[in-house]
Structure 1
Amino acid sequence: MATTVVVTGLGTTSPLGGDVASTWEGALAGRSGVRPLENDWVERYELPVSFAGQLAVPAAEVLTRPETRRMDPSAQYAMVAAREAWADAGSPEVDGERLGVVVASGIGGVWTMLDAWDTIQAKGARRVMPLTVPMLMPNSPAAYVSLEVGARAGVHTPVSACASGAEAVAYGVEMIRSGRADIVVVGGTEAAIHPMPLASFAKMRALSTRNDDPAGASRPYDVTRDGFVMGEGSGVLVLESAEHAAARGARVYAEIAGVGLSSDAYDIAPPDPSGRGQELAMRAALRDADVSDRDVVHVNAHATSTPAGDGVEAAAMRRGLGGEADHVAVSATKSMTGHLLGGAGALETIFTVLAVRDRVAPPTINVTELEPGIDIDLVRGTPRPLPGGQIAALNNAFGFGGHNVALVVRSV
């Protein structure tokens, strides 16, 4: 019999708030965390996009000055979220050899890398910071979190573009199921609101260019959507075997009941238009959780607001859930947070856990007219109550390169 894996701690820093409570309150209120960029480099480099989902609470207001100097922003965000999650779990006393960490990032320390290159060009190699490599490594956030909690069962960093955060959750589940750990701190982080990623995504025509309406720019499934909105932040969860959680009297939010992973083998950027890989991941997650499509009442969709991606996912959900899709409340929370890239899947897992716990699906904002052919029950404008009894929800996360992850969250 498979080990039951439960969630005992949550932490985040996001465009909606500096912690879980404020972020969840903002999501239920349908508030946008997207605003204009005030950086002088927007005009200096003539960026075609001048807005993003920036942190509501800067990390420098939470961490010490020495910490911010030694960590890339991606690690700073992860540390803020991890400390909240660990405290929320009761700061459990656990043998470090039974404690793991899996914190993902899609891009890693882009600020550190490009700042170091600027320093070399302007001032020479002697002026590069000695900690540059440890700061820019994609595994730096995970390593810092492992140092914080004393994890020795393993520290890992999945890098799978926008599926990274959800894949970290899946990896943590497997660490517990396999017996490697009793507790695993999992999540994702990203700090890529920098001229280079913004310019690059814009050149791909992947970003919305609604500079005159930043708060309304992320419009998943809307007929007028024109691209995703860059976001930043981190989401971290504490996963624990149900047996270990019960033994220490831990408060349990929900169960991570199933994980499903697949790959498209189609293209380096856009998803397979057939949606086969996404459907496969969803079906695998349901099978792993031993739940039927009739048990699913809610989906937190990947739904980035791109013309190429939203319709593919909607069709894959329709096939994966069959006729039951008519009764599944679908939320697209990137409409409020923007797209946190490697942090998105983790933050949206937190949203899914809270939706199951509180029996409420958060709204999708900015949708005025669904694109014709998108046949899903999208929660629009205001939150929607979810049923009583035992319920299950899906969280989808898909990334460049054809990475597909689906997670089943079940009530306890």
Structure 2
Amino acid sequence: MNGPEIAVTGLGMVTPAGAGLDATWRRVCEGTSTAAATDPRLAGMPVDFCAAVTDLDISAVGRRTVYRLDRFVQLVLAAAHEALADAGLAAADWDSPRVGVVIGCGMGGVATWEKQHARLLEQGPQAVSPLLIPMLTPNMAAGEVALACGARGPSFVVSTACASGATAVSAARDLLAAGVCDIVVAGGTEAANTPLTVTGFANLGALSRRCADPAAASRPFDADRDGFVMAEAAAVLVLERADHASARGRRPRAMLAGCGSATDAHHPTAPHPEGRGARQAMRAALRDAGLTPGDVDHVNAHGTSTVLNDSVEAQVIGRVLPHGPYVTSTKGVLGHSLGATGAVEAALTVLSIQQSTVPPTANLENPDPALDLNLVTKTPARLPVRAALSNSFGFGGHNVVLAFRTP
């Protein structure tokens, strides 16, 4: 990578596995799904289950603040609070114009949108909240994090569908490498487990229809996979130049070694049949990181549990990394949190490096024989992880791959 080395010095996470980094890591290593039976919000919908955050701690947000925020912002504020504490950082300790915020989000405040639209139809214009616009616009994820932590450098939201969280991390790296910032709070968030959004994905044919057995619904790379499980989540990584972290005596959890991005230019929702963009992005990440394919010990796959995505991704991993690194998809446990998932999986990839552990892919009972991958199943794989890739792919043909390595 040209420019300064980039250190990951803090992590924060809120997922259906629990609020906080430890709860999520523990659950993904157990390999048990978080998808639950019928969600009351989805009653009567074609798919009536999801993976939801059930124990969000809003104390970090503040009860006087939380009422004016859509859930997607509440989640990312909680994750940012944990990440900054993990990095040992506080607003009093930094040069705030040199601190940036980049957050990925695919949908924005869809829960607010649906609720307020219903009010408009049922009760008239006077019933619509004056806070509607600041609650639903996606940019408020970055704006509210910057406000909460006093970051006065560049702040913005990126949207590349299900690659948004990874795109945010890549954009944050660019701010650091260009010398614009010393620290960037980067991540992704999504809270789209709403009737309209879930129905839209269901009618598109993207969601699993295992309504009678939600816990078994998300099964990446399994021969019996039939779609993904909707989820909500947020994850934040604190990134800083390695020399900046060293100067304040902070040892990195891992290094963000490289990033690769490419576009399929093929179809609005389907991946290129030969994985053209995904392959290009993986190779670009390796090149940017100065890694050879053989250096990669682990791939945290996008692995959505859809028939087409898993097939194409397996083909690409096999071609780019023919030596067979350990592959997992944590969506079997956490479901698919859309714009947040790239940041969630980036954080989990960092933990795999730090803990020398690759979590298993949940519900992988009958691996698809057409997919030639070294998949981790049942129990975690314990091994030194020198370097790892985190794959993220999104509607619109967006492909983003992040390369991490040991410090």
If the length of structure 1 is used for normalisation, what is the TM-score? Answer: 0.96
Residue 398 of structure 2 is aligned with which of 380, 403, 407? 403
For residues 91-149 of structure 1, the C-alpha deviation after alignment (integer angstroms, 9 at most, x for no partner) is: 24111111000011011110111212111112211222112111100111111001111
What SS does the corresponding residue of 1:315 show, helix, strand or coil? helix
Deviation at 1:387, TM superposition (A): 2.5
Quote the Cα distance in structure 1 between the aligned partners of 2:121 and 2:81.
Answer: 37
**Aligned counterpart, 1:76:** 74
1:59 and 1:77 in contact (8 A); partners too: no
Quote the Cα distance in structure 1 between the aligned partners of 2:144 and 2:298.
Answer: 34
**Aligned CA distance change for structure 1 residues 47 and 62 (closer, same or farther; 3 Å):** farther
Letter matched to residue 194 of structure 2: H
Deviation at 1:64, TM superposition (A): 3.3
**Aligned counterpart, 2:222:** 222
Letter matched to residue 179 of structure 1: G
**Aligned counterpart, 1:304:** 304
What SS does the corresponding residue of 1:347 show, helix, strand or coil? helix
Q: Check if 1:36 corresponds to 2:33.
A: no
2:60 and 2:81 in contact (8 A); partners too: no
What SS does the corresponding residue of 2:258 show, helix, strand or coil? strand
Q: Check if 1:348 corresponds to 2:345.
A: yes
Quote the Cα distance in structure 1 between the aligned partners of 2:65 and 2:214.
Answer: 32
**Aligned counterpart, 2:278:** 278
What SS does the corresponding residue of 2:340 show, helix, strand or coil? helix
Work out the percentage of aligned pairs sharing the same amino acid. 44
Quote the Cα distance in structure 2 between the aligned partners of 1:76 and 1:57.
Answer: 12
What SS does the corresponding residue of 2:9 show, helix, strand or coil? strand
1:16 and 1:31 in contact (8 A); partners too: no
What SS does the corresponding residue of 1:162 show, helix, strand or coil? coil
2:153 and 2:181 in contact (8 A); partners too: yes
Unaligned runs of 5+ in 2: none
Q: Check if 1:22 corresponds to 2:55.
A: no
Letter matched to residue 164 of structure 2: S
For residues 220-248 of structure 1, the C-alpha deviation after alignment (integer angstroms, 9 at most, x for no partner) is: 01111000000101010100100000001
What SS does the corresponding residue of 1:58 show, helix, strand or coil? coil
**Aligned counterpart, 2:256:** 256
Deviation at 1:262, TM superposition (A): 0.3
Matches within 5 A, 1:95-244: 95-244=95-244
Quote the Cα distance in structure 2 between the aligned partners of 1:338 and 1:42.
Answer: 16
2:388 and 2:403 in contact (8 A); partners too: yes
Letter matched to residue 240 of structure 2: E
Relative to structure 2, which stretch is displaced further, 30-39 or 284-293? 30-39
1:33 and 1:56 in contact (8 A); partners too: no
2:206 and 2:306 in contact (8 A); partners too: yes
Matches within 5 A, 1:384-395: 384-387=381-384, 391-395=386-390
Matches within 5 A, 1:321-400: 321=321, 323-324=322-323, 326=324, 328-387=325-384, 391-400=386-395
1:209 and 1:226 in contact (8 A); partners too: yes
Quote the Cα distance in structure 2 between the aligned partners of 1:373 and 1:64.
Answer: 50
Letter matched to residue 386 of structure 1: L
**Aligned CA distance change for structure 1 residues 61 and 198 (closer, same or farther; 3 Å):** farther
Relative to structure 2, which stretch is displaced further, 253-262 or 88-97? 88-97
For residues 7-30 of structure 1, the C-alpha deviation after alignment (integer angstroms, 9 at most, x for no partner) is: 011001101111001110111111
1:207 and 1:229 in contact (8 A); partners too: yes
If the length of structure 2 is used for normalisation, what is the TM-score? Answer: 0.97
Deviation at 1:281, TM superposition (A): 0.2
For residues 313-365 of structure 1, the C-alpha deviation after alignment (integer angstroms, 9 at most, x for no partner) is: 000111111x32x2x00011000000010000000001000000111100001
Quote the Cα distance in structure 2 between the aligned partners of 1:241 and 1:60.
Answer: 30
Give me the CA root mean square deviation.
1.2
Relative to structure 2, which stretch is displaced further, 149-158 or 298-307? 149-158
1:265 and 1:402 in contact (8 A); partners too: yes
2:42 and 2:49 in contact (8 A); partners too: no
Quote the Cα distance in structure 1 between the aligned partners of 2:295 and 2:77.
Answer: 35
**Aligned counterpart, 2:94:** 94
1:104 and 1:139 in contact (8 A); partners too: no
Quote the Cα distance in structure 2 between the aligned partners of 1:71 and 1:143.
Answer: 12
Relative to structure 2, which stretch is displaced further, 137-146 or 110-119? 110-119
Deviation at 1:58, TM superposition (A): 3.2
What SS does the corresponding residue of 2:314 show, helix, strand or coil? helix
Deviation at 1:63, TM superposition (A): 4.1
**Aligned counterpart, 2:9:** 8
Aligned residues: 404
